[in-house]
């Protein structure tokens, strides 16, 4: 079956050509594909494809049949066998690149042959899946490959404005003679303490202000001793004294 797709690469044609013909560089961008080795002009790898409820994984090899840098035309042929199954697949992919404004338009024609579980699906289902895979490939290509070749001098990512003053930290010194924040004057109950704490502090022994009333201890006052003159007035006047 024949599958036709096209997409645009936001790079000049010569730069796009150099990227798209570098298999080792772009292989990680293809969903489900993995490059396992390179031997001369042969690229060995695996690819996993899901069509409907069927998932098939293939292991195979790909190589360039044609690579014309002047015409910006490349032809890649690939073939593989289903891992653990009877399926087989082969494809001839032809890509033509042409300038499109500041970018490059890529036209891809694929002649695909499938045998095994995936053969039960018609061209419509396979074309839909391949179209989605190609869209994902282009998105990954822009994010992982083309983004890394962004010209120097591009605007940096949004962050802290240049020259912005740093926020004052806890190390900022307090004015001379000023008590540190949160320090209460001596003898003052800490801020946020319960209301009863101040009353308890005031009623503690020794907490009365100088010259203030003495605290009420709840005991009767002690009787003062009699004056000495009253003791003499009761003397019997005899010697020896019998009083």
pLDDT digits (tens, 9 = 90+) for 160-183: 344 444 344 444 343 444 444 444
Residue 34 domain boundaries: 2-149
pTM of the model: 0.59
pLDDT digits (tens, 9 = 90+) for 90-131: 999 999 999 999 999 999 999 999 898 888 888 888 888 888
- Cis preceding-peptide flag for 240 (omega within 30 of 0): yes
CATH number, position 60:
3.30.530.20
Phi, psi (deg, nearest 5) at residue 128 = -65, -45
The answer to the question of residue 181 being in a domain is no
The answer to the question of residue 64 being in a domain is yes
The answer to the question of residue 214 being in a domain is no
Alpha-carbon span 42 to 67, nearest angstrom: 14
Instruction: Give CA 242 to chain center in angstroms.
Output: 107
Beta pairing partners, 98 = 105
The answer to the question of residue 9 being in a domain is yes
Q: How many CB atoms lie within 10 A of CB 84?
A: 8
Please give the tally of structural domains in the chain: 1
């Amino acid at each position: 079956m024949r599958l036709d797709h096209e997409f645009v690469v936001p790079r000049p044609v010569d730069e796009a050509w150099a990227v798209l013909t570098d298999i080792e560089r772009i292989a990680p961008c293809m969903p489900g594909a993995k490059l396992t080795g390179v031997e001369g002009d042969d690229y060995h790898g695996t690819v996993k494809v899901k069509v409907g409820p069927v998932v098939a994984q293939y292991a195979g090899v790909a190589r360039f049949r044609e690579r014309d840098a002047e015409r910006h035309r490349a032809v890649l042929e690939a073939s593989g066998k289903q891992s653990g199954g009877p399926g087989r697949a082969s494809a001839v992919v032809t890509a033509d690149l042409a300038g499109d404004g500041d970018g490059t338009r890529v036209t891809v024609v694929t002649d695909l042959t499938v045998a095994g579980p995936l053969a039960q699906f018609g061209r419509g289902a396979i074309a839909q899946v391949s179209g989605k895979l190609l869209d994902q490939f282009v998105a990954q290509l822009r994010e992982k490959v083309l983004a890394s070749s962004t010209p120097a001098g591009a605007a940096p990512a949004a962050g802290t404005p240049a020259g912005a003053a740093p926020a004052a930290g806890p190390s900022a010194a307090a004015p001379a003679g000023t008590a540190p924040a949160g320090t209460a004057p001596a003898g003052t109950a800490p801020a946020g303490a319960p209301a009863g704490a101040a009353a308890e502090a005031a009623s503690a022994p020794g907490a009365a202000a100088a010259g203030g009333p003495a605290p009420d201890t709840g005991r009767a006052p002690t009787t003062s001793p009699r004056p000495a003159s009253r003791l003499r007035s009761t003397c019997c006047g005899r010697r020896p004294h019998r009083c």
